[in-house]
Structure 1
Amino acid sequence: MKENEIKDKTPMPAPAEAPGEIAKEYKEKTAVIEQEFSNAVRAFDTVITKSYLSELTSYDVVPCTNGQIPNMRWIKVNEIVYEKDEFFVDKMSMLYNALHSSARNICFLLRRGYCKDNKSAVEVFMGTTDISGVNNVSGDILEKGLKGLFPGVSTERSGDIVQELKGSLDKTFAISCVSGVASLREDDKKERFVQGLEKLLDSTNGLKFSVFFVAEQVEDSECASILSNYENLYSAISPMAETQLSFSQSITSGVSEFSSKNFTENVVKSLQKAVAKGTAYSKSHTEHSATTKGNTSSFGGSIGKGPFSASAYYSRTTAKNEGKADTEGRTDSYNLSILEGIQRGLSKGTQQGEGSHRDNQESRSHQITFQNRRVKHYQDLLDKEIDRLQNALPYGLWSMGTYFIAEDDTTATALAGLYKGCIVGDNSNSQVFTVNNWSKHDDKTKDIAQHLLGCQHPRFVLPSNIEVSSGSLVSSKELAIHMSFPQSSVPGILVREETSFGREVKSRAGLNDENAITIGNILHLGEKSTLPVRLSLEELSKHMFVTGSTGSGKSNTIYLIIDKLIKKGKKVLVIEPTKGDYRKVFGGMADMTVYSTRENEKNLLKINPFAFPEGIQVNEHIERLVEIFGVCWPMYAAMPAILKKSIICAYSACGWDIRKSECRHGRLFPTIADVVIQLKKIIASSEYSANTKGDYIGALQTRLESLQTGIYSTILSSSDCTDYEKLYDQNAIIDLHHIGSTETRSLLMAMLVLGLNEWRMSTNDDDMDLPLQHVTVIEEAHNILPRVSKHQSQEGANVLGKSVEMIADVMSRIRTYGEGFIIVDQSPSAIDESAIRNTNTKIVMNLPDGEDCLIAGRAMSLTKDKQISKLSRLATGEAVVWQRGWNEAVLALVDEMSDRVPLKAGDNVSYVKESLRERPSSLFIKRFVKEEALSDEEQKSLQDEIVRAMVPSCVKSELLDVIRHLPSHKESALINSVVRYLGLDVEIIRLFAEYSFVGSLQLKNDLRDFIADDLAIYDTDQQDELLSMVFIWASSQNEMWHKICQDSLPSNPKSK
């Protein structure tokens, strides 16, 4: 048994302060770090922000030894076309991106005041050369790129423009250079770009200057190297962005006590082949007491490898500990073992101990963090620059500089400042944006000019012997802001904004020269393509609408279409109410007939509104006719009904059975004179008030009577009408432009359309959906198809609206007979909307009115506002064309129709008769004056004579009834008919109006002279018979005339 006891108490050393040598070392090495950081800042400014650019005027210029770049191709830009709503900067960047792989540099020369013809004109040149300087690949890319990205741009190859510039630089001049990175402004949205060069040009009117833009290519490998160096620089300065200082102090004191007692007792008994039993006791007690106090101070500095690594710290520690331990133990054991037989053992032990320990510890620490704002700023700049370069890699990088050359310092400086204000943006702060000025008296100016003449940046030597240029690193997208075209027209350069339409005619049915006509070529952004614009002949039978203002090329377009149709074997009818130009284009063709409204010209137009072709019912024609009058004349209340009744009565007076649609005299139709006669009777016998009768007389009778005078009596009252077949189945031009009355022109146009419809119905009654056979051109269609309201109110019928609807319906239905209409007018808003809607082909030329643009655009399914607004800016000959079956409308440049065959005035002269009244034949005198019988042959001949006469048809009907011995006529009616047939009624009325009194001998003598001179009746008895007839007629017309006429009757037993 053992017993041990240990006691230990050890005090700690006192704390100590940091030694002064360590603090001194820290200060020295911190100063080194600050110096190296200052050097790094200067290097950063040189490499990243290019601060040297602001001090170029103080550096020496490297002499130019390369000379002029070979194979430089220059292109002069005369006209620029932009696509509406497309950001032009994007297109310019695409051009520069395309040039980056092949071009050594790109030069952009803009100058003003050098044009001999216009001193204020601006000239723009672009030049480029290959990297090798041998081929002209970049020049081809430049030319084709301009044409592809800016279709419609007008360019021409220029000579060596640098030599011209060299001539101007031989004089004294000043140069200002603008260096920096251009960028967009946040408020400069794509739809309103305000950083264009036109802002610079608009503010420099009257100045003479040149602006030389130079962009040198930066290879992708060099860009990648720059990007790698930037990233390394970022990593190097990152530790300097933040600095931490830590201070700590620790104090420790301890007391330790230990007491140990050990008692061991072991008894072992062993027998082989026996039981062994043992018992052991152990007891130990230890006491230990220790107290330790210590103070530790530490100060040190450490500087890592390189100029961008540094660390510093200071620490202090104080601790105190105390402890006490007691231990006591006891062990009992019992063992049973058998060895090579039987063995038993027993062991038992006891151990006991105790101890104690106490510790006290105290510590303090301080940490201070410093941030370097300048380094953070550099980090931000590097972040932007790295991102900018990474984004720029796919587009290509350029070294860009802009140089302003002027004859005086002030102009060059002012231009540079204005340009800088134009291109600087919200992201232009990554590099220095500065202007350097070299006076015309500066020796360096000539050296800089030599570099520019070589199409390259001038080089400068920094104090550190580093050679730099005046260019800034920009991407192709940024270069597009530096070097761009003006956005609006300036003197010398026309800038147009264009809108894109369909690029090709896409039709469900294949179009070729057999089933279509070609009118021009596709026009894309002002550039004429080789793709033709073809119009399907099948769709032309479903009508065409052509509109455009005066001078838009509308007439040429119609001429071209007519010429193409005639060459395809189609027949054409032109109804022209104005100008009379069609006769000057087609009138001289062998198979073209020009119908005029002048009696001194050949082929006088003769139509009877009340005539219709066979196969048409009279009541149908009357209904349509009343609608026609409703279009041309304003009618209200009962006027349409009165007019219709007058027309029906006129047909009946001519021998027509309205119900059966038959006439006992064959094809004898009433004329306007017949309607006037019946209208007078109806109004006179009506129960309307005097005011109402006066209104109806003024609105209807007066208008109808106006059509009986002058040339209209020949055109509208002739029994010898122009054949339907000649009008509607042959090539014809109906020239109405000599008619002064708008109402009359409209009436004639409507009558022609009605006649065409009825002729097609009568000749193709059993046919339907025929291919195109005939085309009718209606110029100034608003005369018969005006845009009016179709609304019918309870207060009164909308006669005009109903009438227009009828005509539009006629035109829509006639297509089934192979008839196509070309509706032409200057204003879509003046045309009935249904007429526009029912046309399958639409050609729209320049329309200055906004409402017209909207109507026409919607009719062609133009969904984009920019396309609709384009209609007001179309140039002469340009047209937006759409045909049913096309995917979209196209913009076309219509071909010029130059194959013209005019009708010469000398070839169209006709003899004018003194009087349209035919002298009565001997057969007429024999039958109606002598009252003698006629043979059958004589009767037939007299009937033909009467039918051809220019008299009302009711007069003809009465006379024909007498010839045929029909019992329906009365003696008074016969006298009335003879007097009117011979024109005696007109003559006696004239004489009554001429003399202030009646019944004189002079009256009778004048009538006798008329009968002899005008009617060629010289027999006195026959004259007396006719005088008797006219006085009897006159006495029945007016009570005031009655006695005079009775006294004036000749002493003829037959008359009495």
Structure 2
Amino acid sequence: MEVSNSKKRPSIRFEDLFHGIDPNTLVIDNPIQVPNSFYRELLDCSMERSYLDYVSERKAFPQKTGETQPFKATWLQITRLPVHPDNSDSYDLFNRWQGVLSSLHAWGYRFLFLLQRREGKTHLYLGAMSSNPNFIASDAIEQVKEASSGSMPGVELRALTDMEAAMEINFPLQGYGCMGAVTGLPSFFSEKEPGVLQTLDSLAFGIRGTQNEDRPYSLLVIADPISDAGTNEIINKMRSIGSEIHSDVDRRVNLNESNSTSGQKGLNPYAAAEVSKMAGVGLGRLMGKMGAKIGTEIAPGFGTAIGQAVGNGAGRLLGSAAGVALGQLNKTTSSSFSLTVDTSYLDKYAQYAEELTEKHIERMKQGRNLGYWNVGVYVLGKNRKDVTTVNGMLRSIYSGRESYLEPIRLHVLNGTSGAMDIVRGGFNMIPLYNASADGMSEDVEWHVFGRNYQYLSTPMNTKELALTTSLPRRDVPGLRFVKTAVRFANNPPVTEGDTICLGKLVDMGVEQKNEYRIEPDVLVRHALVTGSTGSGKSTSGKRILKGLLEKKIPVLIIEPAKDDYVRWAMEMNRHLPQDMQFRIYMPGHTELNGKELNRLQLNPFEPAAVSGAKVDMTARCENLIALLNASLPTSDILPVLMDETVYNLYRGFYGKEFVNGFPMIQQEKYPTLDLLTKMAQLVMDKKHYEQKVKDNLMACLETRFQYLNRGTRGRLLAVKRSTDYDNLFSRPTVINISGISSAKDKALIMSLLMLSLYEYRKSIYENDAEYRSCADRNKLLHLTLVEEAHNVLMKPETDAGGTGNPQQVVADLFSNMLSEIRSYGEGLMIVDQVPTRLIPDAIKNTNYKIVHRMTAPDDCQVMAASLALREEQKALIPSLPVGHAIVYGDKDDAAAWVHLSL
């Protein structure tokens, strides 16, 4: 179907719409200019303190004038620092040191930290001074010591006298020829606490010259506490500036421009609608592109969004206007153009200044928690080269993730500037004002954040100051590190009645006021004292023995080597009452230091018992046979022959009464060792061996029995009667057998003593009702201390050669005694250097463990297990000082660290 020409749509081109628009009118001027230098200068001067860059060039610094006397500094020297015995990081020295500084801030004193390297040694000093006329030096030192000891238990500090301070601090400082300074904010490498690389270890180790000579230098840190009000004032200034900055960080500009044309033109209604549609869509798209272009040039990142908004708005407006105008058929045609541009401009200088302001405020808020300081860091050395080297080392220590807030700057000051006189003369910080300028003085405030920023120093919070003065963590000459930073029980055991004080409790290496006390009766369940030579085992033993003597409890000391207890007993006899004085026996000696000694006699055949009590002769015979067989080298048939010889000797003396095995009354006469040979001959005569065999066996027996009758052991054992057992086991006694040279002989003699002790305790228990009543209540009625117990308690080795093994017999005897003798009121104290060579029961079946310093890992492991120690506590054992021990008994909640006293 054809359409009439009258109804055909008019052909209108899009570009016809803009014939009346001047393109020059579309150009929009941009009133926003590149920012001025205000914020850059604010960053450089006030925030990052760029004025410090020129300090090294200054030829003079203002000196204090007037008659004001310099304030007196008082000093402490750090002579020992505690560290964890196994892991140095476990002690957390940094946070503890931070706690010390926080405590010092509260007192308001100027704090001085001096690391001095001289004569190849490192010295650490802490000082305090104040402008307060009521400042008392002794009080300040005491407070510094209290803060250090409280936060770092185990630290050792020495107060310096005025003369010592002059010789050790002032005079060395006067000997330097060059000085430098370090400014800027120290920070950590990572979010974790600083490692060894961010401590003063490298500086404390020293620097060396080309000839390997040690170079002297000093690091002096002067820290003035800033009050909370002063810190808050700085924060408020920062916030005020931050508010002003924020208004200029992100600026927005709105620009409007319009243009219009008019004329006469005739269109039909259909054409008017088409034009309106085309204008609304096409022009909107064009304005969007134009707006994007403008926005991109003015404010990158915001151009596209702004352009779209501009274009859409312009398109809608233009389309509407075109539709209205063209809708008037054959009338006036009106075209209106409107352009709106929103421009956003980001000032990077202002943005960064705002970021720094917020970071500084956060730092200062931490300062309000733990303290805020004005800190001067100064380095003194013999020459410029040494100072530059130390400065560089400090920069590597202080620089971290956030040091950009105020960069670490290194300064080497002019030697004639007077800076050294200011610092070392009165321990003052160096002011930065120009003394020659009119109206300028130290009291004039020219910095936007206040006077604390007007020195060659850096305001820091306590955490930053702790990093600035971070204590070394490794041993260096002149500074000791003691591995004592371990926690132990702080509460002594709950005791009742009369007790014995072993010493003072120790925790983290620091002696406490609490005493560690034990009840005497707990020793009836035995004790083990162990430790290396010279660690204090004898001190422990003597302390307990002395306490028992004061309570009228008799003791027996068996000393196989040395004469330490003999001399101690002689000294004690000068103060003990007559009935409690020691009887001293030393086989092989008749006198010591002019003092006559008692003679010890020990007939192996004579059982021990209290006066009037019956004895078990059969049991004595069997035990003696076992001891002799183990003590003398035997093989094949010899043990049987020795058994028969001893048995027949007893039977020859006591007849049927002995054979029946019943208890016997004590005898006037007992067999002796010299009779063994004759009895052996009688035994052999009854044997139906070949004569040659008889002769060989008899020769063997005779050799062994004669061995027992010779020398010191013969004078001790080949006797008719033993020393009165009441004197040996019912009053204080020392038996020293150091005169017996053979270990096997010592084992035999000590085993006979222990056998007799056991028989005596059993006898008195069975025959004394009062004694038995006390023993049944677990009272300690007698204590035996066995020194160098490995001589009798050696862990037995397998004997495959038939040479005899006396340690096995003694070990078995002692194991039984540990289990049974406590029920008779007897306590045993075993003392030895190496616990792993003792029989297992010496560790398992003893109540109290007293462990001194030991170094062998296997010994430490065994004793740590018996003390129920944690790993870090076990690591302390090799580091225990002399006279210190870890103690654990059945009344303790946990093992305690004790400094034992005499």
TM norm structure 2: 0.77
Provide the rounded CA distance (Å) in 2 between the counterparts of 1:438 and 1:582.
Answer: 67
Provide the rounded CA distance (Å) in 2 between the counterparts of 1:410 and 1:630.
Answer: 81
Provide the rounded CA distance (Å) in 2 between the counterparts of 1:193 and 1:369.
Answer: 49
Q: Note if 1:771 corresponds to 2:779.
A: yes
Contact (CA 8 Å) 1:672, 1:717: kept in 2 or not?
yes
Provide the rounded CA distance (Å) in 2 between the counterparts of 1:892 and 1:671.
Answer: 49
The Cα shift of 1:456 comes to 2.8
Aligned to 2:117: 112
Q: Note if 1:596 corresponds to 2:586.
A: yes
Letter in 2 for 1:731: P
Letter in 2 for 1:604: R
Secondary structure at the residue paired with 1:891?
A: strand
The Cα shift of 1:649 comes to 2.9
Provide the rounded CA distance (Å) in 1 between the counterparts of 2:696 and 2:228.
Answer: 91
Contact (CA 8 Å) 1:54, 1:434: kept in 2 or not?
yes
Provide closer, same or farther for how the CA distance between residues 473 and 635 of structure 1 changes in structure 2, counting only shifts above 3 A.
farther
Aligned to 1:149: 151
Provide the rounded CA distance (Å) in 2 between the counterparts of 1:856 and 1:288.
Answer: 107
The Cα shift of 1:688 comes to 10
Contact (CA 8 Å) 2:253, 2:343: kept in 1 or not?
yes
Q: Note if 1:783 corresponds to 2:791.
A: yes
Contact (CA 8 Å) 2:48, 2:407: kept in 1 or not?
yes
Provide the rounded CA distance (Å) in 2 between the counterparts of 1:843 and 1:752.
Answer: 25
* Aligned counterpart in structure 2 of residue 572 of structure 1, from 546, 555, 573: 555
The Cα shift of 1:666 comes to 4.4
Aligned to 1:277: none
Letter in 2 for 1:57: S
The Cα shift of 1:364 comes to 11
Aligned to 2:732: 731
Aligned to 2:521: 538
Secondary structure at the residue paired with 2:660?
A: coil
Provide the rounded CA distance (Å) in 2 between the counterparts of 1:454 and 1:408.
Answer: 22
* Aligned counterpart in structure 2 of residue 823 of structure 1, from 826, 830, 845: 830
The Cα shift of 1:873 comes to 1.9
Residues 559-588 of structure 1: CA deviation (Å, up to 9, x unaligned): 333223222211111111111222222136
Residues 751-796 of structure 1: CA deviation (Å, up to 9, x unaligned): 101100001111112624352221111111111111247x999x99
Residues 436-462 of structure 1: CA deviation (Å, up to 9, x unaligned): 00142xx32x14532553333212249
Q: Which has the higher helix share?
A: 2
Q: Note if 1:887 corresponds to 2:893.
A: yes
Provide closer, same or farther for how the CA distance between residues 230 and 693 of structure 1 changes in structure 2, counting only shifts above 3 A.
farther
The Cα shift of 1:548 comes to 2.1
Contact (CA 8 Å) 1:130, 1:138: kept in 2 or not?
no
Residues 208-244 of structure 1: CA deviation (Å, up to 9, x unaligned): 3332111122222333343344455556556776789
Any stretches of 5+ residues in structure 1 without a counterpart?
1-8, 114-118, 260-286, 301-307, 325-358, 897-1056
Provide the rounded CA distance (Å) in 1 between the counterparts of 2:508 and 2:101.
Answer: 21
Contact (CA 8 Å) 2:170, 2:424: kept in 1 or not?
no
Letter in 2 for 1:567: E
Provide closer, same or farther for how the CA distance between residues 578 and 170 of structure 1 changes in structure 2, counting only shifts above 3 A.
closer
Letter in 2 for 1:743: K
Q: Note if 1:585 corresponds to 2:568.
A: yes
Aligned to 2:763: 762
Query: Larger deviation: 291-300 or 383-392?
Result: 291-300
Aligned to 2:363: 388
Provide closer, same or farther for how the CA distance between residues 148 and 73 of structure 1 changes in structure 2, counting only shifts above 3 A.
farther
Aligned to 2:430: 458
The Cα shift of 1:18 comes to 5.7
Query: Larger deviation: 678-687 or 73-82?
Result: 678-687
Secondary structure at the residue paired with 2:77?
A: strand
Aligned to 2:96: 91
Letter in 1 for 2:412: N
Secondary structure at the residue paired with 1:706?
A: helix
Contact (CA 8 Å) 1:76, 1:125: kept in 2 or not?
yes
Contact (CA 8 Å) 1:173, 1:439: kept in 2 or not?
no
The Cα shift of 1:705 comes to 3.2
TM norm structure 1: 0.66
Residues 309-339 of structure 1: CA deviation (Å, up to 9, x unaligned): x999785645446989xxxxxxxxxxxxxxx
Contact (CA 8 Å) 1:99, 1:138: kept in 2 or not?
no
Contact (CA 8 Å) 2:615, 2:665: kept in 1 or not?
no
Provide closer, same or farther for how the CA distance between residues 233 and 638 of structure 1 changes in structure 2, counting only shifts above 3 A.
farther
Secondary structure at the residue paired with 1:651?
A: helix
Aligned to 1:852: 859
Number of residues paired by the alignment? 798
Provide the rounded CA distance (Å) in 1 between the counterparts of 2:502 and 2:551.
Answer: 14
The Cα shift of 1:893 comes to 2.4
The Cα shift of 1:199 comes to 1.9
Aligned to 1:977: none
Aligned to 1:409: 384
Contact (CA 8 Å) 2:555, 2:782: kept in 1 or not?
yes
Provide closer, same or farther for how the CA distance between residues 723 and 169 of structure 1 changes in structure 2, counting only shifts above 3 A.
closer
Residues 864-908 of structure 1: CA deviation (Å, up to 9, x unaligned): x23222222222222222332012232222223xxxxxxxxxxxx
Contact (CA 8 Å) 2:242, 2:354: kept in 1 or not?
yes
Aligned to 2:183: 179
Question: CA RMSD for the aligned pairs?
Answer: 4.7
Provide closer, same or farther for how the CA distance between residues 665 and 438 of structure 1 changes in structure 2, counting only shifts above 3 A.
closer
Letter in 2 for 1:407: K
After superposition, where does 1:282-297 map in structure 2 within 5 Å?
A: none
Residues 686-717 of structure 1: CA deviation (Å, up to 9, x unaligned): 89999999999899764443112223233212
Provide the rounded CA distance (Å) in 2 between the counterparts of 1:131 and 1:574.
Answer: 64
Residues 278-337 of structure 1: CA deviation (Å, up to 9, x unaligned): xxxxxxxxx99896669798999xxxxxxx9x999785645446989xxxxxxxxxxxxx
Sequence identity (%): 20
Provide the rounded CA distance (Å) in 2 between the counterparts of 1:771 and 1:111.
Answer: 60
After superposition, where does 1:4-15 map in structure 2 within 5 Å?
A: 14-15=20-21
Letter in 2 for 1:607: L
Provide the rounded CA distance (Å) in 2 between the counterparts of 1:364 and 1:699.
Answer: 132
Residues 240-287 of structure 1: CA deviation (Å, up to 9, x unaligned): 76789999999999999899xxxxxxxxxxxxxxxxxxxxxxxxxxx9
Aligned to 2:450: none
Residues 529-552 of structure 1: CA deviation (Å, up to 9, x unaligned): 433232211112222221222222
Contact (CA 8 Å) 1:54, 1:432: kept in 2 or not?
no
Secondary structure at the residue paired with 2:875?
A: helix
Provide closer, same or farther for how the CA distance between residues 751 and 290 of structure 1 changes in structure 2, counting only shifts above 3 A.
closer
Provide the rounded CA distance (Å) in 1 between the counterparts of 2:687 and 2:251.
Answer: 116
Secondary structure at the residue paired with 2:525?
A: coil
* Aligned counterpart in structure 1 of residue 534 of structure 2, from 551, 563, 588: 551
Provide closer, same or farther for how the CA distance between residues 691 and 79 of structure 1 changes in structure 2, counting only shifts above 3 A.
farther
Provide closer, same or farther for how the CA distance between residues 617 and 180 of structure 1 changes in structure 2, counting only shifts above 3 A.
same
Contact (CA 8 Å) 1:587, 1:593: kept in 2 or not?
no
Aligned to 1:658: 659
Secondary structure at the residue paired with 1:654?
A: helix
The Cα shift of 1:726 comes to 1.2
* Aligned counterpart in structure 2 of residue 560 of structure 1, from 525, 543, 546: 543
Provide the rounded CA distance (Å) in 2 between the counterparts of 1:800 and 1:696.
Answer: 25
Contact (CA 8 Å) 1:69, 1:133: kept in 2 or not?
no
Letter in 2 for 1:593: R
